[in-house]
Amino acid sequence: MDIHEIVKKLVGKIYPVGETNADNDRFENLKTMTELVDELLSDIYRVAQGNNRHEYSINRAGQFASSFLDEVRE
């Protein structure tokens, strides 16, 4: 099992199916998933702030994170 599968299993289903009770639960799961994504993106954004540092390892991580965020924005 990879991380994506584990998170999906922990959070639960997020796709609505057209049944009110099930969709209410799935909507709560969707809110949980989006909160997690927001926190993860914030973490990546903080790493991206190092993209102009002179230390190689910090700059490398910052460049990688910055490139990822650019792709997300597209």
Please, are residues 48 and 60 in contact by the beta-carbon 8 Å criterion? no
Burial classification of residue 70, based on how many CB atoms lie within 10 Å of its CB (0-12 exposed, 13-18 middle, 19 or more buried): exposed
Q: What whole-number distance in Å separates Cα of residue 56 and Cα of residue 50? A: 10
pLDDT at 57: 96
pTM to 2 decimals?
0.87
Q: What is d(CA 54, CA 73) in angstroms, rounded to the nearest whole number?
A: 26
Q: What is the mean pLDDT of each run of 10 residues along the chain (74 residues)?
A: 97 98 98 98 97 95 97 93
Q: What pLDDT, on the 0 to 100 scale, is given for residue 8?
A: 97
Structural domain boundaries in the chain: 42-74
